[in-house]
Chain A
Amino acid sequence: MPKSRALLPQAERLRPALSWSMARLMSKRRLRREIGAAAVVALSVALTVAASMAVVCMVSQNGDAAAREVATPSLPAGAIIIFDSAEEAVSALEEAEGFEGIANLRRFPWANADTRLGPLFVLGALASVERGTLLCGPALAEEAGEGSSLEVWDADTGSLLGTWTVRSTGEYLPEGEYPEGWAWVSTDSLGHENLSGIAFDVTGDPSVVLSRVIKLSRSYPGAKVFMDGFTRHIVRKAALRAYLPWQAVSVMVALTAASAVSCVLAVSFLGRKRALGILKVIGATRPDLRRLVLAECWYLGYAGIPVGLVIGFALCKLGLSAPVPAAAFPASAVMGALALAGGALLPLRLTRNATCDQLLNNKAIYAFSNPSCAQCGLCGGF
């Protein structure tokens, strides 16, 4: 008897015979015919994209500024500078030429404190210091009066913000001995007439550093954050850690959407087993069926992703009042595409494993081909 042999070379069999145009035509007509199922998948993709955009915006709003400014080389007005040590801070401020022009602390009457000292108040709240306490260096505390009450006014609106208690930090401590969350205000800096920034010597946990930087950034919308050397390194690490929850949320959103898309695509696939079986009968190979599934996904993404971008933009602007960075658009689109691709994995797997007999005669298809399972038919299958 003659031997069985492949009819076509491997490369030829792997190349789909079904053209993209025909696959798209078939998918388009099928989706139009089953518009309900198509709408559910497209909506899942759209919601994934919208949720991703919201996540990106939240990340951007809450922490991105700190990491972004790490690399900024110059020292513009209103800078918040973080140094690795008090000595570095003092020497840098004394030598820096960038501290000119803006004198937001020049008018520094203690009884009418510039509200931009707000971050100090925030920092006090972060550390184990009672709210309403103004931490400052010994010289400053002496000037203001240790333990005295200060009425704090908003310089712009003239309204009374509250009463703070001045508290000295005491003598400068050696580096590394500051309590957690403590910030040192350089008296030299504050006394400098042309000062345009505040210098902090930050110690403690990197995540505390980051949260402090984030809060400072919020309080000083126009400010830049600078840091050098080791501080930059720990802030980067802290930024990464701070983003992790958001990244986890993003992944969860994508996985949830992918499972929803997967369910609908799998149901859709199982609903047309017979049609796919017919295609196999008339000569379609696995790459042809794969192309058909991918064409369908392409259409669902084509409809779902732009809708998701619009919903996401509206959500960020109107719902969250958050700025939408340009990167949010491609990032969200990629998330939507990934959800769609993830959702298509199961149908693609089933397409790969399905035999003509299983498709045509509505028999169970197994995602993991195990001949013994296929024989007994008692262990699941699709």
Chain B
Amino acid sequence: MNEWHGPILACHELSKFYAVGDGLFALSNVELEVERGQFVVIMGPSGSGKSTLLNILGGIDRPTHGEVLLNGRKYSRMSEDDLAVMRRRELGIVFQFFNLLPELTAAENIGMPMRLARMDERDIMSRVMHLLEVTGLTARANHYPVELSGGEQQRVAIARALAPRPSIVLADEPTGNLDSKMSQEVMKLFKRFNQEEGQTFVVVTHEDGFLDYADTLIRLSDGEIVERKVLNAKK
């Protein structure tokens, strides 16, 4: 169905300028390419532009200059609705603070992106059941987010991001709000989906533990890529 054979995600000459004070370049001429099935980890000190980059890659924010392409399609100048439609089909996003919909149960949260993508209700149910099982949340399916622990909420958020089988999952500090045990669980979950389902991941993190699973490490500093390291190349 997808005939694009180039990098699944790419950005060229990406810059983001904030007109505050004397002006600040959060990102400066960032060049990035992510191949299908890759596990890319982006690291860097606070304020280095990691989250800004991820927000732009996810279509949440827009670059001041440069272009972002997903499956060869430019999207950094798309309308808000086109971006939303693209996210519902192509992108899964995991946040540090889970960002679950408080009025929906765990199962409904996971199913929501698929409902927005107008998938068949039977497919939605079977996918939700599968993801609940994989994430170990079957018993918590009908619980609301406030009734779940931080680790459980993050697992629901990951399952939600993976539910519509997106081309790529972007994660912004997914373990930043979890204790070490929960962080391990989340990392294992990412590894499992990357290795078993070939899911592409771009993870912004401070957690060194992710390096064990990553194919590529990108280190940012002051909005520029200062290190690009292949850790575990895949075919």
**CB within 8 Å of B: which residues of A?**
1-8, 13, 17-19, 22, 25-26, 29-30, 33, 274-275, 278-288, 355-357, 360, 375-376
Complex Cα gap A193–B101 (Å) = 83
Bin the interface of chain B by size.
35 or more
Residues 99-140 of chain B, each 1 if its beta carbon lies under 8 Å from chain A, else 0: 111111000000011011110000000000000000000000
Contact B75 A357 (CB under 8 A): no
Whether B116 pairs with A282 at a CB distance below 8 angstroms is: yes
Total residue contacts A-B, CB cutoff 8 A:
106
Q: Which of B67, B72, B77, B87 contacts A282 (CB 8 A)?
A: B87
Among candidates A6, A33, A275, A357, residue contacting B61 with C-beta atoms closer than 8 Å: A357
* Alpha-carbon gap, A3 to B83, bound state (A): 15
Q: In whole angstroms, how far apart are the Cα atoms of A357 and B58 in the complex?
A: 10
Of all chain B residues, which has the CB nearest A29? B103
**Chain A residues with CB under 8 A of B83:** 356
A18 to B62, CA, bound (A): 25
> Given A1-B69, A2-B74, is A285 in contact with B115 using a C-beta cutoff of 8 Å?
no
A357 to B84, CA, bound (A): 12
Q: Which residue of A lies closest to B67 (CB)?
A: A1
| Most-contacted residue by chain B among A18, A285, A376 (CB, 10 A) | A285
Q: A22–B115 Cα gap in the complex (Å)?
A: 9
CB-based contact A283/B99 at 8 Å = no
Q: How far is the CA of A288 from the CA of B115 in the complex (A)?
A: 11
Which of B69, B75, B80, B88 meets A355, CB within 8 Å? Answer: B80
Interface residues in B78-102 by Cβ distance below 8 A to A read: 78-89, 93, 99-102
What is the bound-complex CA distance between A22 and B101, given in angstroms?
13
- Contact indicator A17/B80 (Cβ below 8 Å): no
Q: Report the separation of the CA atoms of residues A30 and B104 in the bound assembly, to the nearest whole angstrom.
A: 9
Q: B interface vs A, CB < 8 Å?
A: 12, 19, 55, 58-62, 67, 69, 72-75, 77-89, 93, 99-104, 112-113, 115-118, 160, 164
Q: Is A13 touching B85 in the complex (CB atoms < 8 A)?
A: yes
Is there an interface contact between A280 and B84, defined as CB atoms closer than 8 Å? yes
Can you spell out 18 A-B residue pairs with CB atoms less than 8 angstroms apart? Answer: A2-B74, A6-B78, A7-B73, A7-B89, A17-B115, A17-B116, A22-B115, A29-B103, A29-B104, A33-B102, A275-B101, A280-B84, A280-B87, A282-B88, A283-B85, A288-B116, A356-B60, A375-B19
Q: Are B104 and A26 touching (Cβ within 8 A)?
A: yes
Task: Please tell me if the beta carbons of A4 and B160 are within 8 angstroms of each other in the complex.
Answer: no
B91 CB to closest chain A CB (Å) equals 9
B115 and A18 within 8 A (CB): yes
B67-A284 in contact (CB<8A):
no
Cα distance, A26 to B115, chains bound together (Å): 14
Partner of B74, one of A1, A22, A287, A375: A1
Q: Contact: A18 with B101, CB < 8 Å?
A: no
CA distance A19 to B87 in the complex (A): 18
